[in-house]
Structure 1
Amino acid sequence: MNTPRMSVVMPVYNVEAYIEEAIQSVLDQTFEDFELIVVDDGGPDRSIALARAFSDPRIRIVSQANRGLAGARNTGIAEARAAYIALLDSDDRWHRDKLLHHYVHLQANPHVGVSYAGSRMIDETGKPMAVAMRPKLLNVSERDILCRNPVGNGSAPVLRRVALDRAAFPHPDEPRRTCWFDESFRQSEDIELWVRLAALHGVTFEGIEGLLTDYRIVGGALSANVVKQYLSWSRMLDIARQNSPDLIARHGDLARAYQLRYLARRSIQLGNEGLGKDLFDRAMALAPRIWIEEPVKSVTTWAAITFARIAGPDAFRRIARPFLGAAA
């Protein structure tokens, strides 16, 4: 069996509404020398049956007991045979030239360990929303990764295997199993790895032009999830402080302020403008400089809070919420 030039890792758990679209977006790639590793994370729905219906020989399905997103990604990475590893969550989809552009980028820039691009937001039906993730692409620092996470989401990066392996460690309870993502995280597992790669292992992150991922915003989330996300992110910061104390001493408050502002936007989207206002006020009190660093997002967040409180949730949902997206 020939070794592919790209490995695509797709964790799967309860995504029967979206998995066919995600898989098809991989099979439609103009860069064809890949393997697609579908990791069955033990979900009870028909997702894996739908995946098995594809007859493409480049697809491999690996099953495991449920370990969560980080554990499923680790299983896929362990199975991957290629020098470049792309991640795709099974409710998202790719532009047909995504793998090609990242392959060219990594081939031409051997110093780059993580290649990424911007993302377009889509709703549950796959319809494009009015917002997109347009991250910083060049001269990306440890501060940028900690404070702004330019990778953006788990379906955007393509990683050089040798760079990724710098962050490998044995599972604490199963030492024969290698981890890259920390499986103790159920959220914030991606940013934890990105910060570790950049700050602890000196891996270079660099983006390329274009919106090459369609990142799906799925409804039905609860405001309680915002609190859980913040607690998980705060734990990530605590771990980063142990590994890279100077980085956190310099930029920890700013990173927390940006995260609070992001969660304020999410709270407003979920219809909880009270929580959104509280989080936004905390962000601005902690690091008012983000008014200057990113005035547009700061002003639009403040305006959305004000509009929601004045116009009411129905008018806000109809008019303003689609323009907030999920961008931080």
Structure 2
Amino acid sequence: MPVFNVEAYIGQAIDSVLAQSFTDFELIIVDDGGNDRSMEIACSYDDPRIRIVAQENRGLAGARNTGIATSRGKYIALLDSDDCFHPDKLRLHYIHLEANPSVGVSYSGSQMIDHSGAALAVAMRPKLRDIDSAQILCRNPVGNGSAAVMRRSAIELTATLDPSEPSRRCWFDESFRQSEDIEFWVRLSAKHGVKFEGIEGLLTQYRIIAGALSANIVKQYLSWNRMLRKTETYAPELVAKHGIPARAYQLRYLARRAVQLGDARFSRSLLGEALALSPKMAFAEPVKTGLTSGAVLAASLLGAERFSKLAAPYLKGAIS
């Protein structure tokens, strides 16, 4: 569990781990150099299964690497400190991985929650079976960084040494401050042949926090494109065949994010570019594309403030 300035949420995240029906775990909390009360809250828990590791700020990828390097388990679950686990999450993923030795990454659907922890109207319900590298690149069925439980032997295939600190092992690419999870999933699948498979249920509570800026969407898109360029260095055929539709799906996703932020003009531009890149997307996923188009049109006609009030309970969760 990477921790950086999440004092409002970290207690809920820790409680959700300690409430697991599967009890044979260690919870490694990585202090990523924040300056609020997050670590004071974490240190207030008295449970021998909790271990706290401190580091200078390295970002989410760096904190995950530190946690993985410190861990001792056969399986590794990721939990961002503003998200929560369903009480049966670890038990169900443990059963899945024990019963299916060929699966390297187990994941599930996610329930969207708001800042207070209340469930939102829409959830992530990804495809669970027959997942290949193209589907991971285009649609990222894992969905978010708190959904995956990974087999250690599988992710060890990706381990490298930090050139600036040779004693430090890395799995996630620390040069990414965004898109680090999709970069890791694609690399696991396309470069190392790791099998991904999901299980039924909304076993992660994924928090949507207001206050993002449209500029963050641009940063996210630039980071995602950097991921695509990196993928091309080791899987050129995958990118040649699926790079354009993958970019279109990403632009459609970002158009929905722009609508969330009340930027109708930006969302129109993003959606227009997505459809220009891949017109087939409208036929392949007519419901999602139609809903996105309707939201963009409504935001344009009603104005950002009025549209946000009317659609907030739905759009907050509609991000896939």
Which residue number corresponds to residue 277 of structure 1? Answer: 268
State the alpha-carbon separation in 1 of the partners of residues 283 and 194 from structure 2: 29
Match of 1:160 in 2: 151
For 1:304, the equivalent position in structure 2 comes to 295
Distance 2:173 2:217 in 1: 20
In structure 2, how many angstroms separate the alpha carbons of the residues matched to 1:276 and 1:33? 46
Aligned to 1:142: 133
The alpha-carbon deviation at position 20 of structure 1 amounts to 0.3
- Displacement of 1:172 in angstroms is 2.4
User: TM-score w.r.t. structure 1 length?
Assistant: 0.96
Matches within 5 A, 1:78-89: 78-89=69-80
Matched, 1:191 2:185: no
Residue 120 (structure 2) aligns with:
129
Matches within 5 A, 1:51-62: 51-62=42-53
The amino acid of 2:209's aligned partner reads V
- Measure, in 2, the Cα distance between the counterparts of 1:183 and 1:212: 27
Q: Match of 2:53, as an amino acid?
A: V
User: What's the counterpart of residue 108 of structure 2?
Assistant: 117
Instruction: Indicate the residue corresponding to 1:33 in structure 2.
Output: 24
Tell whether the 8 Å contact from 1:31 to 1:97 is kept in structure 2 after alignment.
Answer: yes
Question: For 2:77, what is the secondary structure of its paired residue?
Answer: strand
SS in 2 for 1:38: strand
Q: Is the 8 A contact 2:131 2:196 kept in 1?
A: yes
Tell me the SS of whatever aligns to 1:175.
strand
The alpha carbon displacement at 1:296 in A equals: 0.9
Equivalent residue letter for 2:233: Q
Supply the distance in 1 between the matched residues of 2:249 and 2:10 (Cα, whole angstroms). 32
Quote how far apart the aligned CAs of 1:175 are: 1.7
1:217 to 188, 194, 208: 208
Tell me if the contact between 2:257 and 2:319 (Cα under 8 Å) persists in the aligned partners: no
Structure 2 residues not aligned, in runs of 5+: none
SS in 1 for 2:188: helix
2:219 corresponds in structure 1 to: 228
Match of residue 304 from structure 2: 313
What secondary structure is seen at the aligned counterpart in 1 of 2:121? strand
Deviation digits for residues 100-130 of structure 1 (CA, Å, limit 9, x no counterpart): 0000000000000000000000011111111
1:11-49 deviations in Å (ceiling 9; x for gaps): 000000000000000000000000000000000011001
Contact conserved, 2:32 with 2:55, CA < 8 A, in 1?
A: yes
Q: By how many angstroms is 1:320 displaced?
A: 1.8
**Displacement of 1:73:** 0.2
What secondary structure does 1:192 align onto?
Answer: helix
Please give the alpha-carbon distance, in whole angstroms, between the structure 1 residues aligned to 2:91 and 2:84.
15
Percent of paired sites with the same residue: 63
CA RMSD of aligned residues (A): 0.7
1:135-157 CA distance string (max 9 Å, x none): 00000011110000000000000
Residue segments in structure 1 that go unaligned for 5+ positions in a row: 1-9
| 4+ aligned runs moved over 3 Å, structure 1 | none
Residue 327 of structure 1 corresponds to: 319
Compute the TM-score of the two structures, normalised by the length of structure 2. 0.99
Counterpart AA for 2:319: A
What number of residue pairs does the alignment pair up? Answer: 319
SS in 1 for 2:167: coil
Residues 91-100 or 308-317, more deviating = 308-317
**Aligned AA for 1:203?**
V
Displacement of 1:326 in angstroms is 4.6
Measured in 1, the distance between the counterparts of 2:185 and 2:237 equals 17
1:320 alignment partner, SS class: helix
Matches of 1:315 and 1:28, distance apart in 2: 40
Deviation, structure 1 residue 321 = 3.4
Distance 1:171 1:204 in 2: 26
